[in-house]
Every structure is written in structure tokens, then in C-alpha cells.
């Protein structure tokens, strides 16, 4: 005795796409509408999404903007006699201001796609997801910029 579901499965010409999890790189393909974990069985499991919320977009843009503000304030502080303590950024500074700014932006922007793709993965078996790092980095930039402003004479 076969059920209606089994008969439907037998008539399919392609495998049921729902049996496979969403892959990590499908986020790079345009389209898709999976934005969150929909099944109870997937609760507390890592998962990939196809779309991101406006809040996530805001956080990413804010992170990039804070990186640029940090670079600008760093250049102003260097003009007042301060030094860049980050060896990578100090090395880029020897090539000029534009190289420094572009390098700072690229170093910040290059990590964001990985944070977004793996944002729903839990770190080290804890309940802390990779996506929680974006607000942490924003907070770190706010603290750094506040400290830099205090350094001005």
C-alpha cells in the first residue's frame, strides 16, 4: 500500500531539493528567499540563508563607515605626531595616504562576506553565532574612535 506522498516522489524527475541543506555559496547567487531557520528540527543547528535583513545591511554599512572614519582620524593623528602601531597599516602608510586608505578598506571589507555567509554558524559549540561578531566589531570601532578622539591635543 503506497501513500500519496510516495506516489508523488516516484513521479518526480529530479530529486527533492528539500532533502539537501542550503549550501554556503548559494548566497552569492541572485534570487532565493530563505532568510531564517524555518523548521523546528533545525533549531540550534547551523544554516545558510539566501537573503539578509535590512538590519544586517545597516550593520555592514556602519562597519565599513567606521573603518573609514578610523582611517581618517588615524591620518589626522599621524599629522599631529602620533604613530601607527599596527605593523600592516604602518607598512601601507609608507606607500602613501591613498594606499593606506584603500588597504584599510580592503582589509575590513574582505572579511565581511565570510561573516555574512557563516553568520548562522555557532562558534566552538556555544550559542554564540558568527553573526554576533558584526555588532562586536562595531562596538570595538566605536571604542577605538572614542579613544582616538581623546588623543587630540
CA 121 to chain centre: 12
User: If you average pLDDT over residues 13-41, what whole number do you get?
Assistant: 59
User: pLDDT tens-digit profile of 109-142?
Assistant: 999 988 888 887 888 878 888 889 999 999 999 9
Domain extent, residue 136, equals 53-153
Which residue, 59, 60, 142, 148, is CA-closest to 109?
A: 60
CA distance 49 to 129: 14
**Residue 55 burial (CB count, 10 A):** 8
2 & 64 share domain: no
Question: In this structure, are 40 and 59 located in the same domain?
Answer: no
Q: Are residues 105 and 136 in the same domain?
A: yes
Q: Are both 39 and 74 inside the same structural domain? A: no
Please report the pLDDT score of residue 25 as a whole number: 60
Task: Give pTM, 2 decimals.
Answer: 0.70
Whole-number mean pLDDT of the chain? 81
- Please tell me whether residues 17 and 92 are part of one structural domain: no
Residue 30 DSSP one-character state: S
Round to whole Å and give the CA distance between 121 and 1: 42
Instruction: Specify whether 133 is located in the same domain as 68.
Output: yes
Count the domains in the chain.
2
Amino acid at each position: 500500500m503506497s501513500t500519496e506522498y510516495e506516489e508523488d516522489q516516484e513521479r518526480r524527475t529530479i530529486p527533492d531539493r528539500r532533502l539537501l541543506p542550503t549550501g554556503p555559496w548559494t548566497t552569492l547567487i541572485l534570487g532565493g528567499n530563505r532568510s531564517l531557520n524555518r523548521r523546528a528540527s533545525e533549531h540550534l543547528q547551523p544554516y545558510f540563508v539566501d537573503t539578509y535583513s535590512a538590519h544586517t545591511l545597516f550593520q555592514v554599512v556602519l562597519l565599513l563607515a567606521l573603518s573609514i572614519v578610523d582611517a581618517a582620524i588615524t591620518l589626522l593623528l599621524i599629522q599631529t605626531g602620533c604613530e601607527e602601531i599596527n605593523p600592516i597599516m604602518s607598512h601601507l602608510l609608507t606607500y602613501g595616504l591613498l594606499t593606506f586608505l584603500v588597504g584599510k578598506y580592503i582589509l575590513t571589507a574582505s572579511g565581511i562576506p565570510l561573516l555574512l555567509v557563516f553568520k548562522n554558524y555557532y562558534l566552538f559549540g556555544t550559542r554564540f553565532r558568527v553573526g554576533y561578531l558584526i555588532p562586536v566589531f562595531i562596538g570595538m570601532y566605536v571604542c577605538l574612535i572614542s579613544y582616538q578622539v581623546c588623543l587630540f591635543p
